[in-house]
Amino acid sequence: MKFTLTGRYAGYSVDTLRKDLVSGVIVGIIAIPLGMAFAIASGVKPEYGIYTTIVAGILISLLGGSRFQIGGPTGAFIPILFAIVMDYGYENLLIAGFMAGVMLFLMGLFKMGALMKFIPRPVTIGFTTGIAVTIFSGQIAGFLGLSGVEKHEYFIDNMKELGLRMNTLNGYALLTAGISLACILLTPRFVKKVPGPLVGLLVSTVLAALFFDGQVATIGSTYGDIPSSLPALHMPNVSLDNLLHLWKPAAIIAMLGGIESLLSAVVADGMSGDRHNSNRELMGQGIANMVTPLFGGIPATGAIARTATNIRNGAFSPLSGIFHGVVVLLVLLLFAPYASLIPLASMAPVLMVVAWNMSERKEFAHVLKTRSGDSLVLVITFLLTVFTDLTTAVEAGLVLAVVLFVKRMSDTLTVSKVLPDPADKHAKAMPHMVYEGHDCPQISMFTVEGALFFGAARYFENTIMETIHDKPKVLLLLMNKVTFMDTTGERNMAELVKHFQAHGGKLLVAGIQKQPLEVLQTTGLYARLGESSFFEHTGEAIDYAMKHVDTHKCQGCKHLAFRECAELAGAASAGRVYDGKPHGAAQKKVPLGV
């Protein structure tokens, strides 16, 4: 019996195994300095970033919904994780990470992956750029080798701290950081396959050790030696009090993790031609974030840059991501003592370059140039991310985006009084046909276009009520362009029905679409109006309306709004014709039957 692989491993062979191994090794080497740097910037020990890279990286690749996704700690998490460590401590960070994992898993389980796509782009650009500014500014002290710098939660306080400590600038640290930065920027220009951050760390570390040993702070001198093994399983001390205090930061971690992972998966799809499963991806991310804290790791998500590198180096299946985690594990087991020698000044440029690359500066400028409501959402989200915290920024950005969306949607609703245009071969109802001296006193026709929802329903009702002063016998609503109706829109329509029925009038509806019709049927307004009040075509509705007018009032009427009016008006208007123009002006003769 021949064994064949299916699904994400279909067509697997020795050659594809080699490709996965090569890409896994390359991405694993890149992930090591990034994992440590992200951990340090988040306010925890560097080894916790390595643990995250190993555990979460393997689980996300194994269980996620993308063939090429590389998971691990990312820069996007730095501000929120640092704030949690400052306010609650490292142990509670593990609990918040576990809770975020549960939330992500449930989001995937209940198929909420598609909902992540509805977060407005200005909000994501705003907080991503704000995070980039926070990360970059947070590395200035390390780049300059400043000593005695206390880390604060807020940007302004950190900037003041830098100003106060500027006199402690360390020339050796600045030189080390400069060498590291130069290597990071120049390496891709000459050797594209070799990761710049790794070259920067190696070269600057060796030079610092040879020429000014002991003059710059290192990982070992600041955080102690990095252990050469994974820690034992440890269950965080979870209590009801912790859960109540941490649900909000946990929700932000889950939301941010979901956005980053699905965005990374979309990028991977675009580069590979593959298609990811968003709900499976969220569930895989959730499981990874539930397991990682048990090994002391910090929250993880899909890493866009590492995922892209994985694809560029020929990855074929999720095994490349698993190999990437194994490579980091082997490096931890074999070379951990050497990692302790890395100067902190060498790490700072790594994160500065990450911040620069994730800043989305071109997208930021593009949205800003529109000078629209989106620009306002972008700027407010950005400023709040930098000067307050990510939670406040995202909440404010989403609320403002929703308000602007409602405003825009309400502006799209148009309600116009209309009459048939005889110049049109289909006698289409048009607003320009209604003017002084040409408007039927007994039948009022309105076209309604757009979404009839809570943001525009009052405008819909008021426009009609303010336009009608003579209490017409029939109100005809042409609703073929009403795309959506909610219960507020139905309620305002019901008020119109109540008003007209109270005065013995009748409300007719022509061309209503499926969704608004279902709303009227569900609420009972359809039954209240009666099936006979609904028409598929405008002409049918007009014919029905003409049968319910008071013919006595038509005698002598000079408006002649409809083609039937000349006959109903009687002898006083027998010589007139229906052409939709002011009577008394030069008019083109049109037969009465038109």
Domains of the chain as residue ranges with CATH: 14-360 (no CATH), 413-573 (3.30.750.24)
Q: Which two tokens stand for residue 55?
A: 């555990």
- Between 4-18, 244-258, 318-332, 368-382, the lowest mean confidence (pLDDT) is in 4-18
Question: What pLDDT is stored for residue 426 in this prediction?
Answer: 79
Single pTM value for the model: 0.82
Instruction: Determine the average pLDDT of the residues in 218-240.
Output: 89
In whole angstroms, give the CA distance from residue 387 to residue 374. 20
Question: What pLDDT is stored for residue 316 in this prediction?
Answer: 94
Q: Say which residue, 348 or 119, is predicted with more confidence.
A: 348
pLDDT exceeding 90 applies to what percent of the chain? Answer: 71
Q: Which helix (H) or strand (E) holds 484?
A: strand 474-485
Please check whether residue 187 is in contact with residue 314, taking contact to mean a CB–CB distance below 8 angstroms. Answer: no
* 151 phi-psi bin (left φ>0, alpha ψ -120 to 50, beta other): beta
Please check whether residue 397 is in contact with residue 259, taking contact to mean a CB–CB distance below 8 angstroms. Answer: no
Which candidate, 62, 54, 60, 61, places its Cα nearest to that of 101?
60
On the CB side of 280, CA atoms within 13 Å amount to 14
In whole angstroms, give the CA distance from residue 352 to residue 344. 13
Question: What pLDDT is stored for residue 242 in this prediction?
Answer: 85
581 pLDDT higher than 90: no
Question: What pLDDT is stored for residue 584 in this prediction?
Answer: 35
Question: What pLDDT is stored for residue 355 in this prediction?
Answer: 93
Question: What pLDDT is stored for residue 372 in this prediction?
Answer: 92
Q: Using 50, 70 and 90 to split pLDDT, how confident is the model at 470?
A: low
Instruction: Determine the average pLDDT of the residues in 501-521.
Output: 93
Q: Which two tokens stand for residue 135?
A: 């990360």
3-state secondary structure of 452: strand
| pLDDT tens digits for range 284-300 | 999 999 999 999 999 99
1 pLDDT higher than 50: no
Residues contacting residue 413 through CB under 8 Å, at least 6 positions apart:
448, 449, 450, 451, 452, 456, 459, 460
Please check whether residue 237 is in contact with residue 229, taking contact to mean a CB–CB distance below 8 angstroms. Answer: no
Please check whether residue 467 is in contact with residue 499, taking contact to mean a CB–CB distance below 8 angstroms. Answer: no
Residue corresponding to tokens 């002006």 = 585
Q: How many CB atoms lie within 10 A of CB 330?
A: 13
Instruction: Determine the average pLDDT of the residues in 450-471.
Output: 86
Q: Which two tokens stand for residue 181?
A: 């930065």
Q: Which two tokens stand for residue 503?
A: 């005065």
CA 56-57-58 angle, to 5 degrees, is: 95
Residue 82: what residue type?
Answer: F
Question: What pLDDT is stored for residue 504 in this prediction?
Answer: 85
Instruction: Determine the average pLDDT of the residues in 186-209.
Output: 92
Question: What pLDDT is stored for residue 6 in this prediction?
Answer: 58
- Between 58-67, 345-354, 564-573, the lowest mean confidence (pLDDT) is in 564-573
Question: What pLDDT is stored for residue 256 in this prediction?
Answer: 92
| pLDDT tens digits for range 361-404 | 999 999 999 999 999 999 999 999 999 988 899 889 999 999 99
Question: What pLDDT is stored for residue 591 in this prediction?
Answer: 33
567 pLDDT higher than 90: no
Q: Using 50, 70 and 90 to split pLDDT, how confident is the model at 513?
A: very high
Identity of the highest mean pLDDT range in 115-119, 152-156, 216-220, 570-574 = 216-220
Question: What pLDDT is stored for residue 594 in this prediction?
Answer: 27
3-state secondary structure of 170: coil
137 pLDDT higher than 60: yes
341 pLDDT higher than 70: yes
Which candidate, 162, 164, 169, 167, places its Cα nearest to that of 146?
169
Question: What pLDDT is stored for residue 12 in this prediction?
Answer: 84
Q: Which two tokens stand for residue 465?
A: 């009520």
| pLDDT tens digits for range 405-423 | 999 999 999 999 999 988 8
3-state DSSP percent of the chain in helix, strand and coil, to 5: 65, 10, 30
| pLDDT tens digits for range 24-76 | 999 999 999 999 999 999 999 999 999 999 999 999 999 999 999 999 999 99
CA 305-311-315 angle, to 5 degrees, is: 135
